[in-house]
Amino acid sequence: MIDVEDLIALVRNYNPRTNADLIRQAYAYGLKMHDGQLRKSGEPYFTHPVAVAAILTEQMLDDATIVTALLHDTIEDTKSTYTEVERLFGHDVAELVDGVTKLTNLQLSSGAAEQAENFRKLFMAMSKDLRVILVKLADRLHNMRTIKSMPPEKQARKSRETMDIYAPLAGRMGMQWMREELEDLGFRVLNPEARNSIIRRFLTLQKESGDVVHQITADIRTELERGKIEADVYGRAKKPFSIWRKMQEKDLAFSRLSDIYGFRIICQDMGDCYRILGLIHQRWRAVPGRFKDYISQPKSNGYRSIHTSVSGRDGKRVEVQIRTREMHEVAEAGVAAHWAYREGVRAKNPFAVDPGKWIAQLTERLNEGDHDEFMENVKLEMYSDQVFCFSPKGDVVQLPRGATPLDYAYAIHTRIGNSCVSAKIDGIRVPLWTRLKNGQSVEIITAEGQRPQSSWIDIVSTGRAKAAIRRSLREEDRGRFVKLGQELARAAFDHVGRKATDKALRTAAKMLGLGDETELLARLGSAELTARKVLETLYPELSTSQKDEVDTQRPVIGLGADQTFKRAQCCQPVPGERIVGITYPGRGVIVHAIDCRALEELEEQPARWVDLHWQSGRHAPAYSVTLDVAISNDAGVLGRICTVIGEQKANISDLKFSERKPDFYRLLIDVDLRDVEHFHMVMTALEAETDVAQVARVRNVTRKP
């Protein structure tokens, strides 16, 4: 583990005016809070926050971010609180630590509706202070570097989440080095055979052709000396995952890949960039269609560089990137360059992007539409590169790679897109599905009365265009789709012995993030939503998979060999909920939900707290939860309610009438459940019933624990 003075020395390398005492205080506090906690590898847990802080020093970040890294797990995993962190380290640090804690709790690889909502929260946290995501990315990077100590199943899950979410996000923020390392670490877990195969082929290639990187680097330096230009030259073979992805995209064997080497030339000023480009193209033949000038047309995250591919020594195709030192700093740190410190003050890099403007651009239009359209926007923003096109007046329009004239039209205005009939590229009429290229001039031709066609969905690439087309199609055919949706819903519900009541459909619409049941029916009729999806949303047991059974005698992890446990009656925790144990003399350990109000009076007795969590797997339905249910006072209603609960494979262990009125009954029903997912299944099924006016979980701190 890095010593506190060594960590301070890393910060002082770029910030001599650092508040060393603050870092020492945070280091000591984090060490104390995490005392006794171990990582899966057996190392002290605090080695992780220190390593995260060290990663952030490589980006030359400010003291508040370094301190946040040291404390980022204290509120989540220790007895520390927001109030205490704020008192000791100030409001700025407390907000950052709280933001990282909230990000840690987001399940970004969950179901579509929940994932969309969690991505919204992610972007909200980023818009509040982008340093939150910088700490989270460093946290994920260190976890991936040490992932071998985790169980194989968790390794695979974390690696997939890293490849799908965190690596693209790092790339979207301009931190390409982090994206490449995260992808390579994930690739090592998810497809080790493919990675090892590529590495072996590289070694074979080096034996056959020698050290190509060294040879070409020397050739480039010779050309720079002839041109009397001072610059640094770096060369490397591309990462295994980058090569594998290219092999998959182009369906090529390794032997047919040409541009597997990359070279970077870092010079003094912008004029040198273009002079070096001339020298490179004079010495080697340029590859058509592989030139990009991100200096004259920067990426939205501040990235500037000239990219060109040439046929180098022995005809080997190589990529060359040319940029200045200031551009290189932004290329390495991306949006994080805004916070970079040098000589004790924030570095004024003219190419660093203002995070406020960047995040506003990133999240523009992301709040429009439903969760499917939202996720489409998110993925396009995170995963796609850009092309730059010109309007007839010379204005620049940025679009993702693969965009068409229709995307261009909708980028200008929804009205232009909806009324588009054809387009011209560089003065020549082209089909609407033509893929745009950098530097092309695009003219859109419109006509009154034109309406979007359903086939346009498959033509466009941007989330904005897809959302606008779907919205227009829904408005035009809404009545027809609602009628068709009603028939589809009725048939699907009848098939599983349920009724497609207005209340059931309203509940499903709410769970899917839609406005109301009419919107749900319209989407059913337009095939944007399947009836099966609606049924599984209301009744998850229709798609529940079987898991390994958990021993009912020992369902929690963290107890001593001689410790017994009981569930607290005040909060009645069930598997899947975060829990904590409290020791009681002569009674063993009482398990409480982490948000139980009864814990407030025990905050000053930390010695009695036991860190617990539930065993993973399928639990038996042995955890009683009390439900407060209000139902209509009609014949047969109580029987139907009991049947609904039974259909969810839940047993009623007790039932009491708490209130009797002429028009309704209020009941307290004790239901035996497996876990929190089973609990939500029962709640959803009850809420969907027409005769249930209200249902709520009973938690009572006056009950004895």
Tell me which residues are annotated as active site.
76-77
β partners of residue 664: 632
3-state helix, strand, coil in the chain (%, to 5): 50, 15, 30
The CA distance from 588 to 600, in Å, is: 20
- Calculate ∠ Cα 52-56-61, nearest 5°: 145
Residue that is written with structure tokens 């709640």 in the block: 683
The neighbour count for residue 400, using CB atoms within 10 Å, is 17
Sign of CA dihedral 133, 180, 407, 454: negative
At residue 179, the 3 state secondary structure works out as helix
448: Cβ contacts below 8 Å, ≥ 6 apart = 419
Neighbour-count burial of 682, counting CB atoms closer than 10 A to its CB (0-12 exposed, 13-18 middle, 19+ buried): buried
Question: Among 663, 696, 673, 570, which residue's Cα sits nearest to residue 622?
Answer: 673
Give Cα 91 distance to the centre of its chain.
Answer: 26
Question: Beta strand 386-390 with 396-400: parallel, antiparallel or unpaired?
Answer: antiparallel
The total of other beta-carbon atoms located within 10 Å of residue 608's CB is 13
CA dist list (Å): 643 to 507, 639, 678, 691: 19, 6, 16, 13
Instruction: Return d(Cα 301, Cα 119) in angstroms, integer.
Output: 19
385 to 104, 286, 402, 591: CA distances (angstroms):
28, 22, 9, 50
Question: Are residues 244 and 188 in contact, defined by beta-carbon separation less than 8 angstroms?
Answer: no
Q: Torsions phi, psi of 212, nearest 5?
A: -65, -40
Sheet bearing 579-584, strands edge to edge: 565-567, 588-593, 579-584, 609-611
How far is residue 623's CA from residue 536's CA, in Å, rounded to a whole number?
24
Strands 317-324 and 261-267, by their bridges, are parallel
| Cβ contact 525:484 at 8 Å | yes
